[in-house]
Amino acid sequence: MSEIRSNLSQYYASKALFETVLGRDAFVRVKDFGSLAAWRENYSKLLGAIRVSVEATVKICDEEWKSQVALLLTHGLDGVKTAKSIDEIHASAAATLGELAFLQLGFVPLGHRTCKNIPLVPKNWDMSPVRTVQYVQSPTQRETQRSLRDKKKATS
């Protein structure tokens, strides 16, 4: 079991994500030596932000998908809240986010657990038999994307 150390590089990927998505205060809470409570708070807020983002952003979907996402995020949040170590917090968050990624693509391939090995070939990883994902962009959204990209280049 890992212990939280006073070390900026420990769990840096998560710390950077918190800063990017949740703001500087979230990063500072766990920057050098964040308590288990601080990590719990940040991951809870991250999962909450994802829940709100899904509700605010996804305009067209089936009710079962919405229900699956809500249940998954609730389960992930419960795992984060009941975790007894930093490893358990990270594991719960990682599992929730990994499962959410597949759900966002169409469905979670549960049948794979009965196989010894799943080759990384498209026929095994096509999630469209259940749902098709389509990203649509209006002219206004394209302009916003261009503007954001230009701002990012200017600050790099």
Q: What is the pLDDT of residue 1?
A: 59
Token reading at 7? 């070390």
Q: Which of 89, 71, 69 is nearest to 80 (CA)?
A: 89
Render 3-24 in DSSP notation, one character per residue. ---S-TTTTHHHHHHHHHHH-H
Token reading at 27? 């990063």
pTM: 0.88
pLDDT digits (tens, 9 = 90+) for 78-122: 999 999 999 999 999 999 999 999 999 999 988 778 888 999 999
How many degrees, rounded to 5, is the angle at CA 76 between CA 52 and CA 125?
Answer: 90
d(C-alpha 53, C-alpha 69), whole Å: 12
